[in-house]
Amino acid sequence: MTTSREDLPHTGLAPDTLTVAAGRPPREHDAPVNVPIVLSTTYHETRAPVPGDRIYARGSNPTWDPFEEALGALEAAGLPALVFSSGLGAAAAALSLVPTGGAVVMPRHAYAGSISLAADLAAQGRFELRTVDVADTAGVLAELDALAARFDEGQVMLWLESPTNPMLEVADLAVLTDAAHATGAIVVADNTFNTPIVHRPLESGVDVVLHSVTKWLAGHSDVVLGALVTSDSALRERLLAHRTLHGAVAGPFEVWLALRGLRTLALRMERSQATAAFLAHLLVDHPVVRRVRYPGLPADPGHERAARQFKGFGGIVSIELDDVPTADALVAAVRLWLPATSLGGVESLIERRRRQPAEPKTVPEALVRLSVGIENPEDLWADLDQALRQASGDQLASATAGKTGTLTDWMTD
């Protein structure tokens, strides 16, 4: 059952307030302030079913509703979101909106799972796949125009990711969205990196927003979930039908954990972004680092666009080193940062991305992605600095954080 904008509570509140206030149970005497977990595969039927009845848990679960309401409110959708069993489950549903024989325009640098899924579907003949440099607005517009000459309205999808993973390129979202709509294309935007705290793509005209809930939204590296958000009730019904028929449904316990994580999203993003900016500015001058990619740096190619479009610059920093051995040595030398894939958790993660076989070959081999958590910024820098120096064979003492000794020493200073 869909909900109109007027029916959703908390309209007009700031996103950081919505993370706490949205998706609460009714205010009744002695009622809990948090939603319960409902563990049931089926529901009582006392009459013939009507639209909106739950009937069976593959179609609906009371534990999903508060999370979907909260995320829909955060993205200013006017409709509840749809939660999926994984980010790729959500991506598959979004790609199902492209008719057979259509075309998808996707950033050449994006989440490797999305690119791999789209490439697999293209190889099966579902649609044509065109990859573009999403920061090259003129190039994307030219690709859209070329496809518009061959395809009818509704047969083309523009898939946006901004900033891109892991290159942190910034797209001109509103311009590209308007141009795509002018050619009859549908627009999907992956908002995993930014979250609604930093940007709301629906306000730029995007049709569908995708989240890997696993990352920043849940925020604790303990659930695998995805979500889609749209302001178009007809699109939402199509996506809901795909979720129900294809079975990419989430467990209620995981969704409950995601809603609990969502409550601190604004605070976690504030801390992660501040620390990411702190680290990026120090890394620019580090003798071991060849290049720093972070939209918050004034010299970054995407800085002007990010500053104009976003309310922040995110918690991901990518750095390029001289070669693969140095990059691998860096990852091996950290003591506080955790060598692991994924991102967006409270803990800071580090990874050389090209070690993943699905990563696009245009990503530099020695690029290391940093997902900045909520630890003490100086502790993170001290660990990163010592690891960079160790990886390069430079035994000079750190002149930045001024801390030595073990990790336990640092944490108890």
| pLDDT at 254 (0 to 100) | 98
Give the bridge partners for 187, in sequence order.
Answer: 158
Is residue 292 exposed (0-12), middle (13-18) or buried (19+ Cβ within 10 Å)?
buried
Q: What class does CATH assign to 5-262?
A: alpha beta
| pLDDT at 55 (0 to 100) | 87
Under a CB-based contact definition with an 8 Å cutoff, are residues 220 and 344 in contact? no
Distance CA 55, CA 78 (A): 25
Query: Which band of pLDDT confidence, cut at 50, 70 and 90, is reported for residue 393?
Result: confident
265-411 has which CATH code?
3.90.1150.10
Sign of the alpha-carbon torsion through 288, 291, 296, 298 = positive
Q: 250-271: per-residue pLDDT in tens? A: 999 999 999 999 999 999 999 9
| pLDDT at 6 (0 to 100) | 41
| pLDDT at 53 (0 to 100) | 85
Query: DSSP assignment of 175-207, as one string?
Result: HHHHHHHHTT-EEEEE-TTTHHHH--GGGGT-S
Q: 204-250: per-residue pLDDT in tens? A: 999 999 999 999 999 999 999 999 999 999 999 999 999 999 999 99
Answer yes or no: same fold for 5-262 and 265-411: no
Catalytic residues: 58, 111, 190, 215
Domain residues of the chain, as ranges? 5-262, 265-411
Of 237, 200, 195, the closest CA to residue 212 belongs to 195
pLDDT at 11 over 80: no
| pLDDT at 407 (0 to 100) | 32
pLDDT at 95 over 50: yes
| pLDDT at 290 (0 to 100) | 97
Distance CA 249, CA 60 (A): 9
Q: E-assigned strands of 67-207?
A: 82-84, 102-107, 127-132, 156-161, 186-190
pLDDT at 316 over 60: yes
Query: Which band of pLDDT confidence, cut at 50, 70 and 90, is reported for residue 9?
Result: low
Spell out a b/e string for 25-62, using b for 16 or more CB atoms within 10 Å of the CB, else e.
eeeeeeeeeebeeeeeeebeeeeeeeeeebeebeebbe
Q: 130-153: per-residue pLDDT in tens? A: 999 999 999 999 999 999 999 999
Q: 357-372: per-residue pLDDT in tens? A: 889 999 999 999 999 9
pLDDT at 394 over 90: no
